[in-house]
Copies of this chain bind each other. A is one copy, B any other.
Amino acid sequence: MNNKEKLRNAGLRPTKQRMIVADILLNGFNRHFTAENLQDEINSSGNSMSIATVYNCLKKFKNCGLIKQVETSKDTAIFDTNTDYHHHFLNEETGELIDIENEEISLHKIPEIPQGYLNNGIEVIIKLKRHN
């Protein structure tokens, strides 16, 4: 399926800007990135885009499930093109994230979900510290 179809299937109009973003993000290679990272990449690809559009686009992509946002307490939002159920190593000093495939972790026991709620996904973060 090409990117235009991916956008349409997700219910998004395939505008010029969204196609530029899709071409960068939805190429089969997974990555973690910030809004600023993405804008830089757009610029160095010879295109340009308002930062507001970058954010709008990321929000739409996220709501459609085309990308994910990672849970970290960093001050900048980090996005992930890997939308599969998976986990992360987090280098707390640098903020760097490394994917952990779902199969590499097994949760043996989980607590009862509170009344009135559903389990909407589990994220495991293994914090890393440089070894000296």
Contact = CB atoms under 8 A, between A and B. Distances in A.
Interface of A: 69-73, 77-78, 89-92, 98, 100-101, 104-111, 113-114, 116-131
Contacts of A120: 92, 127-129
Nearest to A71: B73
A84 to B, nearest CB: 15
Assembly of this chain: how many copies?
Answer: 2
Contacts of A73: 69-73, 77-78
Given A106-B109, A111-B104, A131-B117, A122 B123 contact: no
25 contacts: A71-B73, A71-B125, A72-B73, A73-B78, A89-B113, A101-B111, A104-B110, A104-B111, A105-B109, A105-B110, A106-B107, A107-B107, A107-B124, A113-B126, A117-B128, A117-B131, A119-B128, A120-B129, A121-B126, A122-B124, A122-B126, A123-B124, A123-B125, A124-B125, A125-B125
Most buried by B among A78, A90, A100, A127: A127
